[in-house]
Structure 1
Amino acid sequence: MRLDSSTFPVVKIVFDAPNEGGPDDTFVIFESLLARQQPFLLLHEKAVDENNHEHSHEERKQASIWMKKNKPALRAFVKGMIQVEPSAAKRLALKPFTITFSKAWGYPLLVVGSREQAWALARDVLDERVCDVAQF
């Protein structure tokens, strides 16, 4: 997983792109984003690929420990994660998972059908102009 904060307060998240430093590096980057103490949201623009999201038990355990340690900052500063999923059937299938995700991470998972909808929702969630047309 890789985090790209070049469009902060919208932070792009890419699940199938490894960080050079591995999972620990991702947590360090995430902590640096939280340390800004500014609202932001995560944006995953690539459609869900169920086969690509297998995490080992150790990775899940590490993520769980990290989440618990950072829960107050996550709730305070991460306004949500927007997932682009073009398939209406997959968006519908994700609905029950959004509740579990929100409880675990402390911020909502918002699922939309297109990149354009994602950026429009990002503007609404952050209640400011987070991107200009050039970023599309």
Structure 2
Amino acid sequence: MQLDSSAFPVVKIEIDAPTGQCPQDGFMVFEQLLTREQPFVLLHEKGMDEEAHEHSHEERKQASLWMKKHKAALRAYVKGMIQVEPSAAKRLALKPFVAMFGKAWGYPLLLVESKERALALARDVLDEQVSDVAHY
């Protein structure tokens, strides 16, 4: 996993780490984002077929342990992961996965057809967060 927070609070994510990068490096960067204690969204621009890497049992185990350890922070600060998927058929086919994703990670997976729609949705999700805080 590779994270680019240069446009924070929109954080670009690539699920599969480039060759030579340790998977734990991505989780360390993710932890640093959580320690900021500020709401953000993840933006995944590659279609689901473009990163069809099958994670090993060990990778899935490490991710699960990391999620459990950071469950409260994930729910508090990650307002969603926005997945760009141009294919309407693929977006529809991903509906069951979307439900499982939200339960596992503690934040929603939101599917959109384009990068432009993803950025607009990111603004909406983050604006909604600011509005919720303003009402208290």
Question: TM-score normalised to the size of structure 1?
Answer: 0.89
Distance 2:76 2:20 in 1: 28
**TM-aligned CA deviation for residue 14 of structure 1:** 1.2
Deviations 1:63-92 (A, max 9, x none): 000000000000000000000000000000
Distance 2:77 2:98 in 1: 19
**TM-aligned CA deviation for residue 19 of structure 1:** 7.2
Distance 1:87 1:78 in 2: 25
Match of 2:98 in 1: 98
Distance 2:2 2:57 in 1: 20
Match of 1:30 in 2: 30
Runs of 4+ that moved beyond 4 A = none
Q: Give the AA of the match of 2:35.
A: A
Q: Give the AA of the match of 2:103.
A: K
- Whether the 8 Å contact between 1:2 and 1:19 is mirrored in structure 2 is no
Distance 1:15 1:52 in 2: 10
Query: CA, structure 1 residues 113+26, in 2 after alignment: closer, same or farther (shift >3 Å)?
Result: same
Distance 1:29 1:52 in 2: 22
Q: How many residues align?
A: 128
Q: Give the AA of the match of 2:79.
A: K
Question: TM-score normalised to the size of structure 2?
Answer: 0.89
Match of 1:75 in 2: 75
Match of 1:57 in 2: 57
Match of 1:131 in 2: none
**TM-aligned CA deviation for residue 50 of structure 1:** 7.0
Query: CA, structure 1 residues 74+54, in 2 after alignment: closer, same or farther (shift >3 Å)?
Result: same
> Unpaired runs of 5+ in structure 2?
129-136
**TM-aligned CA deviation for residue 46 of structure 1:** 1.1
Alignment of 1:1-136 (within 5 A): 1-18=1-18, 21-49=21-49, 52-127=52-127
- Whether the 8 Å contact between 1:19 and 1:25 is mirrored in structure 2 is no
**TM-aligned CA deviation for residue 96 of structure 1:** 1.1
What is the root-mean-square deviation in Å for CA atoms of aligned residues? 1.6
**TM-aligned CA deviation for residue 16 of structure 1:** 3.6
